[in-house]
Amino acid sequence: MTLQERLPPGKYRLTVEDYVRLADAGAFGDEKTELVGGEIIVMSPEWRPHMRVKDYIAYRLQRCLEDSASPLSVGTGGSVAIGDHAMPRPDIMLTDDLDGEGAVPVASVALAVEISATTLDFDTSTKARLYAAAGLPEYWVVDVYGRVIHQMWNPMADGYRDRREVAFGERIEAATLPGVGVDTDRL
């Protein structure tokens, strides 16, 4: 039986298992990719403004967690396993499960942060719905050029119930993690 006989023409969504198999076989080379809604997304190069903001926020979150003796850790650039058709790569995550093999389970992620220099619409819509539907408690999108952080919490099936914007220069406090916050005056 030919492939066409088994699979009629059309568009097919990859599963996480398919995606991992392709990655393990070297199909993506050195490209950074993520799986969102069964589609492979090739990520943009990380330019200096993106890198600077990501490193600053990750550092400040790590210091905050250390100061409060939190069981959470900061992870940067790792994949999060969400259902059968999604394995996004937030720029920063707070999780209590960094050890082990494979992607970080979404149930262990308390906060995901995307740094948006070129992907603001995607991050505030598609990714926000994906994370909310998966029950991720809190999500931040840092708009590098708009100089604002879009903070979202209280996940529902179709998005986050609560949102606010925090301008660069102000302190952002996690809505779901008491004592976790970042001064943004140096952004």
Residue 76 belongs to domain spanning: 46-183
Whether 147 is in a domain gets the answer yes
87 closest CA partner among 27, 24, 20, 152: 20
Q: What is the pTM of this model?
A: 0.93
Q: How far apart are CA 93 and CA 87, in angstroms?
A: 13
What is the pLDDT at residue 12?
80
Whether 152 is in a domain gets the answer yes
What is the pLDDT at residue 122?
97
Q: What is the pLDDT of residues 60-78, one digit of tens each?
A: 999 999 999 999 999 998 9
Inform me whether the pLDDT recorded for 3 exceeds 60. Answer: no
Whether 87 is in a domain gets the answer yes
116 closest CA partner among 54, 183, 184: 54
Instruction: Give the number of domains in the chain.
Output: 1
Whether 76 is in a domain gets the answer yes
Q: What is the pLDDT of residues 76-134, one digit of tens each?
A: 989 999 999 999 999 999 999 999 899 999 999 999 999 999 999 999 999 999 999 99
Burial of 161 (0-12, 13-18, 19+ CB in 10 A): exposed
At residue 37, φ and ψ (nearest 5 deg) are 65, 30
